[in-house]
Structures are given as C-alpha cells and as structure tokens.
A and B are shown apart, each in its own frame.
Chain A
Amino acid sequence: AQTVTQSQPEMSVQEAETVTLSCTYDTSESDYYLFWYKQPPSRQMILVIRQEAYKQQNATENRFSVNFQKAAKSFSLKISDSQLGDAAMYFCAYRSFDTGANSKLTFGKGITLSVRP
C-alpha cells in the first residue's frame, strides 16, 4: 500500500516571501501521479498542481512549482511571492497510474500554512 507523509503540521510565511512545503511518499509502483490540494478555511478543496511520475520536468503553475525527486520519493511544493489568499491547509496526495474505474487518492495528513501580512 502507498503512504504519503507530511511531517510538518504547520508553517508560517511572510507575505511576498517564498515557502516550501514538504511531502514524501512510499510506493513500489513505477508510474503514478502526485497532487497538491489546497483547502482554505471553510472553503472548497481545489487542485493546486499535479505531477506525472514519468515526467522528469517539474510541474509549474504560476507562483506554484514542485520539486519532484523520484528516487528520493519526495514531492515538495514551493509557493513564491506568498499572498494572504495562500493561507490554507495543503494536502499532498498520491494516485496510482493504472487504477481505471477505481481511482483512489491517498492523502497526507496536511499542513496548515499561515501568511503574515
């Protein structure tokens, strides 16, 4: 079974600064997908960024980028130019490559990010 570990329960960043959220995972599979989801307080969970394990290039979405280290099974999220609206709980998640109709996400415990004005 796959596991996802987010070891830091909380982090804080100054507005306009850069912060990196850590995530490690364990799997015996060679192909899979990784995601970062954001859940603001009392608001909807949305996908921030995703990475296909077979792609060597790190995914980037505007101010969000990942550092994907497949051999180390590490998938960290970097948020540049942090904004107040980035304050949320962030979940790292794993999905097997070939699950078809039974697609399941394995979530980490999450990390609460606060942004200081």
Chain B
Amino acid sequence: DTEVTQTPKHLVMGMTNKKSLKCEQHMGHRAMYWYKQKAKKPPELMFVYSYEKLSINESVPSRFSPECPNSSLLNLHLHALQPEDSALYLCASSQIGTSELYEQYFGPGTRLTVT
C-alpha cells in the first residue's frame, strides 16, 4: 500500500472558522510533511514531523497548527485564516534515514478556499 490519503478533498471556510485537515498513511513512514501549493506553482514546505515530533517549521503563521497524534496520522488545524491562505494543501510521507534514497509520497491534497 503506497497511499497517502487526505480528507476532506475540498473545504470552504470563513475567516473566523476553525477547521482541521487530516492526512493518513499506513506505509510505516516516520516522516510526514505539510505543503502549501498555489496554482501553477511548486509546493512550499510548511512543516516536517519526524518520529512524531515537529522537526521543521518553515516560519508558518500560528494560524496554522500541525499535530501528529501517532505515526500514521497528521493533522493541520486551521484558525482565523486569511483569503490568501486559499490553496491546495498537500501531505506527504517518507521513510527516514541518512544516505538513503527515500522518496516522498504525496496525497491528493485538500483544496481550501477561505472566504
């Protein structure tokens, strides 16, 4: 099973709402990632979790709050977002290791619209 699943597929939220994005993988990967992608642009890394601990935060605003409850699950909690936060949010996972070619597997993404 080489699948990363993300829910919901689409999300529309107001600027005062609180919502969460969910990502799941059952490949035994111990690194999980959140990316933000605008149309026709490359993904921008937001967060990296390694062994369920936050290892990279790319200076993301605090209105985005990641959580990794266990090795298979990754959440992104959203609160008080701005319209410019509208984008495709991608989750990815990979194995961890130095000197190893561990590719990242991407989920299909959640298309978020902030109104």
Of the residues A101, A105, A108, A109, contact of B51 by C-beta under 8 Å: A101
A50's partner among B41, B56, B96, B101 (CB-CB below 8 A) is: B101
Which residues from chain B contact A11 at a C-beta distance below 8 Å? none
A52: Cβ under 8 A from any B Cβ: yes
Question: Known: A102-B56, A104-B48, A112-B40. Contact between A44 and B107, CB under 8 A?
Answer: yes
| Residues of A with C-beta under 8 A to B103 | 35, 47, 50
- B40 touching A101, Cβ below 8 Å: no
Q: Quick one: which of A39-83 are within 8 Å of B by CB?
A: 43-47, 50, 52
The reply to whether A46 and B45 form a contact with Cβ atoms under 8 Å apart is no
Question: When the two chains form the complex, which single residue of A44, A97, A104 contacts B108, counting CB atoms closer than 8 Å?
Answer: A44
Does residue B31 face the partner (Cβ distance < 8 Å to A)?
A: yes
Contact indicator B102/A103 (Cβ below 8 Å): yes
Query: Chain B contacts of A47 at CB under 8 A?
Result: 103-105
Please, which residue of chain B has its CB at the minimum distance from the CB of A9? B40
* A/B interface sample: 6 pairs, CB < 8 A: A45-B106, A89-B40, A100-B96, A102-B48, A105-B43, A110-B40
Interface residues of B, Cβ cutoff 8 Å to A: 31, 40-43, 45, 48, 50-51, 55-56, 90, 94, 96-99, 101-109
